[in-house]
Structure 1
Amino acid sequence: MLCPHGLPVEGAPIAPTVPDTPVPPVTPLATSTRPPVVRRLPDPPSLLTPGIERDPYPLYRTLRQRFPLVYDRPFGAWLVSRYADVRAALADPRLVAAPPGRTLAHLEGGTHSAHRALVSPAFRGHALTALTAGVERTAYVLARRLADRQEADLVAEFCHWLPTAAAVAALGLPYEDTARVHAWCRTGLDHLGGHHPELDAFLLPYIARRRAHPGDDLLSALCTARADGRPLSDEAVAGIAGTLLGAGGEATAHALASFLANLLDHPGQLALVRARPELTAGAWAESLRRDPPLHIVLRRAVEPVGAVPVGATVACLLGAAGRDPARFADPDRYDVFRPDPGQLAYGSGRHFCPGALLARLTAEHGLHALFAALPELRRSPGFHPVADGLLSRSPRSLLVRLGRPAPEGPPATARKAPPHACAP
């Protein structure tokens, strides 16, 4: 909850900063003939300042230190940058997901609780088992396709494909349609699902079949669940599926790229995670803290929140919050042993993203598949991944060496794929 005077209740009230705030004019000397000089406070920095998308971290430091709650006029939103403030804003019921939308993030009150209760069983029991198996199988298929290569770009050839293929498998959709769904995820869907008419038209026949003949996949769980004695509408099922495809697709692709980049940038920690798979979950959480896939999450005020008026947009800067030194020691360092890396990358409070589990399974099984298929995996010599982006951010390429230098003569015999690595 946000306090009536500012953000958040956990800390001291924040004095909001509004651009173009004048200070009292300087009174000229009686003998001076110059006109009065009016001094103004400098405008706070803006997210739209040129070059911010290449390196936003100096701006984040300035915002946390000097402008923790500030109106960014060029961007058109109030900026919140400290960890405690961002966490409070994400959980505050007076700040809702910015329209348009038809997903869980856009539902409020009892409707949200009822619909969320319908999604939860899809991540338990037999549905979770089927989900995990589909993710694992898909990861091994993609990793094995790289096994005979000497070098590859993991972003283009692994990270961009695995999350979509995993979400397709989780929903029980045909594997051969992955390419089409992948294209839709990149041209109309985002972490809030968005709206894509072609995807809706594609899903409706499968929704009808699952209603008549349910299975143990996620789409069946949505089609057979009931709220207040009534099933979800086809539109609601398609919207939730779009949320998972959007979050499990593009957002998780960014998160997976940053995850692999962080480990490859720290070979010692990579070796530890390879030798001790139980460290994978912590390594993933730490990467989400340090390099979240979404740096900015937008909310709209439906009630006044301190200095924020009704109808205003609030930009929760996850990229700044995750590196807040008031919350994390040595926040720029990547450390798989960090005891509490926080939980903001997939939301907070009632709007914690239900796709977070799918994203974690995708990352963990994706990493394990790469370890199994590519035991010599390492970053290409001389290559340094460069992240960019304003709203979402990750490396755009990740060049890696996949095997030992090729010897002279015939190529080495390819390793056999595990039995469950066959294509779906």
Structure 2
Amino acid sequence: MTKASVVRWEEPRAATGARPGTEWSPAVLCPSGPVSYPYAPGSYPRAGAATQLPSLASPRTAHDPFPLYRTLRATRPLHLDEPFGAWLLSRYVDVRTALADPRLVAPPPGRTFTHLEADTHADQRALLAPALQGRALAALKASVERTAYVLACRLARRHEADLVEEFCHWLPAAAVVRALGLPYEATAHVADLCRAGLTHLGGAPAAMDAFLRPQIARRRAHPKDDLLGALCAARADGRPLSDDTVCGLAATLLGAGGDATARALAALLANLLDHPEQLALVRARPELVDAAWAESLRRDPAAHVVLRRALAPVPVSGGTIPAGATVACLVGAAGRDAARFADPDRYDLFRAAPGQLAHGTGRHRCPGIQLARLTADAGLRALLAALPSMAWAPGFRPAHEGLLTRSPAALVVRLR
């Protein structure tokens, strides 16, 4: 990642206020018991201390962020990263609390679920519920399973394949296209938009608007019981949602269901292929798929960094986030916090309570979490059934790329 790639998220330098102080003494608790860190209250180093930490904006950090994450958790739970333009939170308890804190909101500009607050956010989330439950969910599940089966069977005729390019990009895109009620042939276009930068924050607005507006016009003229139909039929203050609002919300779902789920599915497959004994367990006991998914989301979330803006001062471990500051919630660091998880770098599908930060928490918990889980479940089951000999291709090792979002760039496997 380059500094230029995060400029649109930065607040003016004057808005970041003073550097973190030396005092921190809140009693920090989590489900696994009291948190213990090696630095006592009062010994937290100032951001301007002699030891200079690398920035999130550094290419070295994007290559491997985990050494920085460990240092931040242990010594600087609140740290002003000036090159990146944000205050960093790295401990599990702080990130979990921050993601649910109403004083920390998504930075502008934006028109997605992430950017909605208060009653507007709750009302528009509620509009989608009927399309993700009951008979609608059963029909969606059947469609995703069929797509996963077809994709996996196509690979079964091959000796080698890249699962990222030939499976992970396609199945989530097809799932969210089906959920929204868009034409099946739109799957390739959505997959291309995800590759071009469409994420859960919307992204690629011009291309997405050009694609969605004709679909919205058709749905308003011919209503259907799908997610796009629910958005087109919704009313706020007695009036239908504008096309601009519907576009933004649909783009959220397309980005979350396409890009984020594709990345998370790739990470799940990488973790299981890296641990053949656990892959064999899941193959023999398919009921373990959910546990394998949850543990992969903890260890390798698709969104490593979630950005927020402080509306008021917010006390955290290590000091207080000043009002107006941009805050980077390091989900990738929180998921490997040794104060919350035993042996946190290990992938263990039998881990108790792996946490649920990958899809957010509180009011901004991702509305597509059920669709993502359904997609991962169908995809993994289809691959295990169709590819009984699936393993890493000789000499291949996956390389994770990215920082705000992070996942394996390729998964080259031997299929026979």
Could you tell me how far apart the structure 2 residues matched to 1:203 and 1:54 are? 35
Equivalent AA in structure 2 for residue 212 of structure 1:
A
Distance 2:292 2:42 in 1: 33
CA offsets 1:195-217 (integer angstroms, 9 cap, x no match): 52232232223223323333332
By how many angstroms is 1:17 displaced?
5.2
1:82 alignment partner, one of 87, 91, 103? 91
Distance 1:182 1:309 in 2: 39
**Letter of the aligned partner of 2:137 in structure 1?**
L
- Larger RCO (CA within 8 A; separation ≥ 6): 2
Match of 2:304 in 1: 295
Q: What are the within-5 Å matches in structure 2 for residues 235-384 of structure 1?
A: 235-306=244-315, 307-384=320-397
Q: Distance in 2 between matches of 1:130 and 1:270?
A: 29
Which of these residues, 188, 205, 211, is aligned with residue 202 of structure 1?
A: 211
In 2, Cα distance between equivalents of 1:16 and 1:191: 35
What's the offset of the Cα at 1:91?
Answer: 0.6
Match of 1:19 in 2: 47
CA distance in 1, matches of 2:239, 2:59: 51
- Between the aligned partners of 1:207 and 1:19, the Cα distance in structure 2 is 49
Structure 1 gaps of 5+ residues are 22-40, 404-424
CA–CA distance in structure 2, aligned partners of residues 45 and 66 of structure 1: 14
Cα displacement (A) at 1:300: 0.6
The alignment status of 1:55 with 2:64, answered yes or no, reads yes
- 2:88 is paired with a residue whose SS is strand
With 353-362 and 181-190 compared, the bigger mean Cα shift is at: 181-190
Structure 1 208/105 Cα, relative in aligned 2: closer, same or farther at 3 Å?
same
Deviates more, 1:347-356 or 1:192-201: 192-201
Mapped to 2, the partners of 1:296 and 1:7 lie a distance apart of: 25
Kindly indicate whether the alpha-carbon contact (under 8 Å) linking 2:131 and 2:230 is maintained by their aligned counterparts in 1: yes
CA–CA separation in structure 2 for the residues paired with 1:393 and 1:197: 24
Number of the residue aligned with 1:24: none
Name the TM-score, length of structure 2 as normaliser.
0.86
Deviation by residue 1:224-274 (Cα, 9 ceiling, x = unmatched):
334454433222222111001111111111111110010111111111111
Q: Matches of 1:359 and 1:325 in 2, distance apart?
A: 27
Tell me the alpha carbon deviations over residues 111-162 of structure 1, each in whole angstroms, 9 at most, x when there is no partner: 1111111122221122212221222122122212212101101111111222
Structure 2 counterpart of 1:389, one-letter code = G
Whole-angstrom distance in 2 between the partners of 1:295 and 1:364: 22
Contact 1:151 1:402 in 2 (8 A): yes
Contact 1:91–1:348 (Cα < 8 Å) also in 2: yes
Aligned to 2:414: 401
Aligned to 1:414: none
For 2:114 and 2:58, how far apart are their aligned partners in 1? 29
Distance 1:145 1:360, change over 3 A: same
182, 190, 193: which one pairs with 1:173? 182
- Find the residue that maps to 1:51 and give its secondary structure: helix
Higher helix share: 2
**What TM-score, normalized by structure 1, do the two folds share?**
0.84
Displacement after TM superposition at 1:393 (Å): 1.3
Q: 1:123-272 maps to which residues of 2 (within 5 A)?
A: 123-272=132-281
* Residue number in structure 1 paired with 2:38: none
Aligned to 2:60, the other structure's residue is in SS state coil
Greater C-alpha Rg: 1
Q: Please, which of 86, 97, 100 is the counterpart of residue 91 of structure 1?
A: 100
Aligned length: 380
Query: What's 1:385 paired with?
Result: 398
Q: Is contact 2:53–2:68 with CA below 8 Å preserved after alignment? A: no
Deviation at 1:97, TM superposition (A): 0.8
Task: Single out whichever of 162-171 and 216-225 deviates more from structure 2.
Answer: 216-225
One-letter code of the match for 2:309?
A: R
Change (3 A) 1:320 1:224: same
Q: Is the 8 A contact 1:16 1:70 kept in 2?
A: no
Gaps of 5+ in 2: 1-22, 30-34, 36-40
Structure 2 CA distance for aligned equivalents of residues 7 and 340 of structure 1: 26
Task: Tell me the distance in 1 between the aligned counterparts of 2:25 and 2:357.
Answer: 17
Contact 1:83-1:327 at 8 Å conserved across structures: yes
Q: Do residues 72 (structure 1) and 72 (structure 2) align?
A: no
Q: CA deviation at 1:6?
A: 6.6
Offset of residue 62 of structure 1: 0.6
Deviates more, 1:238-247 or 1:77-86: 238-247
1:113 alignment partner, one of 118, 122, 142? 122
CA contact (8 A) 2:63 2:402 kept: yes
**Separation in structure 2 between the aligned mates of residue 301 and residue 189 of structure 1, nearest angstrom:** 25
Amino acid at match of 1:369: A
Give CA deviations for 1:277-324 in whole Å, capped at 9, x if unaligned: 111011001000001111111101111223322221100111110000
User: Structure 2: which amino acid aligns with 1:98?
Assistant: P
The separation in 1 between residues aligned to 2:60 and 2:323, in whole angstroms, is 31
Query: Take 1:90 and 1:134, find their aligned partners in 2: how far apart are those partners?
Result: 33
SS at 2:312 equivalent: coil
Q: CA deviation at 1:50?
A: 4.1
Mapped to 2, the partners of 1:260 and 1:108 lie a distance apart of 35
For 1:396 and 1:187, locate their aligned partners in 2 and report how far apart those are by CA, in whole Å. 14
Tell me, in whole angstroms, the C-alpha distance in 2 between the residues paired with 1:346 and 1:224.
Answer: 27
Aligned to 2:161, what secondary structure does the other structure show? Answer: strand
Counterpart residue number, 1:122: 131
1:100 equivalent in alignment to 2:109? yes
